[in-house]
Structure 1
Amino acid sequence: METRKFGRTGQEFPILSFGAQRIVDEHNCTEEEAIQIVNRAIDEGITYFDTAPIYSNGQSEERLGKAFGSRRSKVWIVTKTIDRTRDGSWRSLEASLKRLQTDHVEEWRLHDVRTMEQLDACFAKDGALQALIEAKEQGIIKHISLSGHTNPNVQLEAIERFPFDSALVALSAADHFIYSFAHEFLPKANEKGVAVIGMKVIGLGRLAQWYEKALRYTWSLPISTAIIGMESMEQLENNLRVAKDFKPMTDLEKLEFFKEIIHMANPDVLRWKAKDWSNQEEWAERL
């Protein structure tokens, strides 16, 4: 697989990385299957694994911890905090480390920072960012990150306020049409050396009909890697096949693809950009 630089960190990763949200009972993936899928991914050169404590109440982290075993040194683990306070985030990290069966993670993220109010809370005295800074000073984490699904202005403001090492943002082809991280966030992030990781590539499955084109679109952007959720060995093998054969989309290919999917640019499909997760009719407001 093609590998790319990971911002200013000095690391490189394959374009295909592992989103671990789906290796859980909730997605009909057993623990035995999860361990097999993760180890197959490592065998094929995938080293970047993204998880979070809220993914099935920690089950995603638990299964990664069991799967890595003696191969811990071969992988780059990313987990997150959804808590906006210092103390709450520290408790979150301590629990994550136990589930992941490790004494450190390579990357820790402020999870799903949607609004300026949430960003301000993270940056406040005794806010979540303080925990990330302290954890890095203590060597418990190596890199500081954030993620955003909804409003590129929030992540743009974040990287102006603090030298984040990376940002995980929504970069599906359908995201191209509304509140676009590709248009608004990527250029500034690349200018600052912030590694950008694409997510929501298949649109929570809503772009499955075009899944090869969806992967190619996101990998054609100037990003470091993209995390893809995988709940079966078949999905992993298909993603590996597309990644190994990857060729960037031409402008004409993108144009034809956009014509096919523009009807998908609505709040029912892009729920992470809706007013709230259950609202299928209104877009979030960009205040």
Structure 2
Amino acid sequence: MQTATSTHWLTLSDWTLMAVTGPQARAFLQGQVTCDIRELTPGESRLGAHCDPKGRMQVSFRALATAEEQVLLRLPRAMVEATTASLGKYIVFSKAELSDETGHYRLRGLCGPDARKQLTEALVEPATEPGQWVTHDGGFIVTLDEQRYECWLTEAQAEILDQHFGQPTAGNTQWRLLDIRAGLGEVLPQTQGLFTPQLLNLTRIGGVSFRKGCFTGQEIVARLHYKGKLKQRMRRLSAACSDPDALLPGTLLHNGDGKKIGDLVTAAPSGPDTCECLAVIEDSALEGEIQIDHTFRAEPLSLPYTVE
């Protein structure tokens, strides 16, 4: 039984790693993605996205540079094929290669009030600030907050830690809920090409640099930033729903009059009859009735950062 004071060792099979490797790996990504690859100094990661020329997000990820000629991208496993297609059409012109690293790493999550202490005793002391990382024997520990750590491990490391912490439990649902509470949305197959970075609050959490220069879709993204006025953005909601499978990414949101007011980004169960979700929703709709798929009533919840 999980409690608020427990520490949980989880398998994260819904996510995986891809690598961009080669002499021009960083230069290639710098000209393609929203975050500034130059900021991937040792110990620093960045959230980011690859957009199409219209500024619509094709892929979202967390990036860290493992070496001068390699950058790892952590993203939903369901987006590997889409990422290969999205970045692959441009990478052919660079001295770089894109690869699926699923076979080389095991993703684990450790969360709870004693997570930092236990991780330090078992493997290595993690970084202090969110988004920072440390490496140990070929694996990477990314700090998400003071009680949550994502572990990108070699097979040997995963076996050692599984013995130390006990066999991990399936953690996709719990990890997604924690991402929702942290306000971290992501692009999934159902929402590929639907959102701009601004709509998923990527500009609020360091996922877009307007000083780095050109990247695919940059003209549209920058125009929205400097001249546009957003009338909708991603919010956190609580929904009365006992079946989380009914809350699929891309599901429409409506008001009490049946007018479309938004799109679902992601959802996870938070109780026997409730789910929490992230959804892009019109600002003007927040005070009225919110329905997901004309069925599930939803109420706004707070995010850990401001969006206005």
Give me the TM-score of the superposition, normalised by structure 1: 0.35
Q: Identify the structure with the greater helix proportion.
A: 1
